[in-house]
Amino acid sequence: MFFPIRFSSIRLEQFALGIVLLYPIMAVGYLPFGGGIRYYSVLLPVAMLLMFFALRRLHEFSTISLLADVMAFMKPFLPFCLALLVVGVFHGYLDFFINITRAVFYAALLYALLLRMDFNSRSLFFAPALACFMYAMVAIFEVFIQGRGRAFGLVYENTFGQFSVLCAGISLLAALSKCFDRKEQVFLFVSFAAGMLAAVLSGSRGAILPLMGVFCVLMFTTRAARLFSVFLFLSASVFLYFDFFGFFTRILLSVDEVRSYFLTGHIVDSSVGIRLELWRIAFYVLLNSGWMGLGAMPFEGISNIYPDLKTSADYMNYYFGLSGTLSPWLFHGDIPQIMVFGGWVVLVGFLVSMVLVIRFSYVSNFALWVVWCGMVWGGAELFVFNRISFGLVLVVVALFCADKHGRGRL
């Protein structure tokens, strides 16, 4: 059975795992504890506490071995965290270090506890599959009933689209595996379609980019995966040709904005142009600010330090200040943010950690999929520096890397 739940026989550790699997609610503000970091700061600690008591009741386990597994999960992130600590002390701004290190520690503790639990790994696919239907219903409600131009789940359009694509990708990879029967595969394919519908209704163009890489990989795997990739490509072509929900128009707008930026340098009211200009600013600062970067330097400060960037930085200060933020300084994108905040020190630490995280996640295609999503989305959005998005990646990686039943590889 795909839904291995018998409520009358649920044990404490199973209840705790059920709480952990609620991670998709972070993108839906209509639900209790949803639409923000409350899942990660409230529900996840409660779930881990229940797991700890359940495991202590069932059998004794070594605290030393538990800490060893915690460190095994944290080790790939250490270069990045240590770089943030050094630069944070240098600039007197430790918020990034504290938030990211705390999130990694929570996920590491979750990973260590999950390794000691005997859970049905099918539940790892049950949660994101149901989430796809939830996202689709929310998107349909907001777009067709409330009349919004883009679905956002009471959070943010791009974050909502990213969560939808991430869960849809898990359903797709699971459906193409050999771990499920025909009916279960149909259910997973339908959930994939529902998740993609939610992503399209969010209007987030960047959210679907990770799927391009997945389709390319599938073309070199099994015959069934190749045929399905061709089917999806043809379906997407038809979808874009008829411009359902205006999504193709938004893609064409991106192309026009890229062309306009490189031909004329246009960035005013241009979503893509602004992101490209932020990358240019970040590279300029990286090459001219020394090893430690500028710290939490607002755009108006960058404008004063670097006259060559005055026009661009002043516009960024105006654009991001429209939300009411005084002296804005956060960039759209993890790498640009790293370049400006921490210079070469944090950039090198981040790249080293990225390689180590990929190596650690290689035990599971699903964990690799989540890491790949974070890498792609981090190019144009604050993903690692966004506690909701980074928490999502960490929880899902911990879940699939702790799966002992061999369902991680296709």
Task: Say which DSSP state 177 is in.
Answer: S
pLDDT at 403: 82
Question: What are the residue ranges in the chain where pLDDT is below 70?
Answer: 1-10, 58-61, 215-248, 250, 404-410
- Pair 28, 153: CB distance under 8 Å: yes
pLDDT at 218: 64
pLDDT at 246: 63
Give me the torsion for CA of 368, 373, 376, 378, rounded to 10°. -110
pLDDT at 342: 94
Structure tokens at 65: 């071995």
Digit-coded pLDDT (tens) for 164-222: 999 999 998 888 887 788 888 889 989 998 998 899 898 888 888 888 777 666 655 65
**What gap in Å lies between CA 18 and CA 127, rounded to an integer?**
9
DSSP states of 237-283 as a string? HHHHHTTGGGHHHHHHHHHHHHHHHHHH---TT-HHHHHHHHHHHHH
Q: Which residue has the tokens 């974070």?
A: 374
pLDDT at 306: 93
Residue ranges of the domains in the chain?
Answer: 7-115, 249-346
Structure tokens at 151: 């679905």
| CA 58 to centroid of chain Cα atoms | 34
* Dihedral sign from CA coordinates of 142, 148, 150, 152: negative
- Pair 218, 228: CB distance under 8 Å: yes
pLDDT at 36: 79
Q: Residue 313 in 3-state DSSP?
A: helix
pLDDT at 137: 96
Query: In terms of pTM, does the model score above 0.85?
Result: yes
**What gap in Å lies between CA 37 and CA 25, rounded to an integer?**
10
Entry field: residues in the chain: 410
Query: Strand (E) positions, 252-389?
Result: none
C-alpha dist (Å) from residue 113 to 53, 170, 404: 11, 23, 13
Query: What type of residue sits at position 225?
Result: A
- Name every residue whose Cβ is closer than 8 Å to that of residue 359 and which is 6 or more positions away in sequence: 76
pLDDT at 71: 95
Structure tokens at 222: 């099994």
